[in-house]
Amino acid sequence: MFRFESDRDLIESFRPRDLRVMEMPPGLTFPLFVRDYLAWTETSGLRVYLIFSAPGSRQPIGIIFRRDSMGGENVTRMCEWCHHSGASSEVTMLTTDVTNKRRVGISLCADLQCKERLEDAANRAGRHTLEALEQLRARMFRFANEALGIELEPAA
pTM: 0.92
Q: Is 123 helix (H, G, I), strand (E, B) or coil?
A: helix
From the list 24, 114, 20, 18, the residue with the least C-alpha distance to 10 is: 24
Domain boundaries, the chain: 2-148
Residues 87, 95: Cα–Cα separation, whole Å: 18
pLDDT of amino acid 92: 93
72, pLDDT greater than 60:
no
From the list 111, 120, 71, 72, the residue with the least C-alpha distance to 91 is: 111
pLDDT, tens only, 91-129: 999 999 999 999 999 999 999 999 999 999 999 999 989
Confidence of residue 89 (pLDDT cuts 50, 70, 90): confident
pLDDT, tens only, 7-64: 999 999 999 999 989 999 989 999 999 999 999 999 888 999 999 999 889 999 999 9
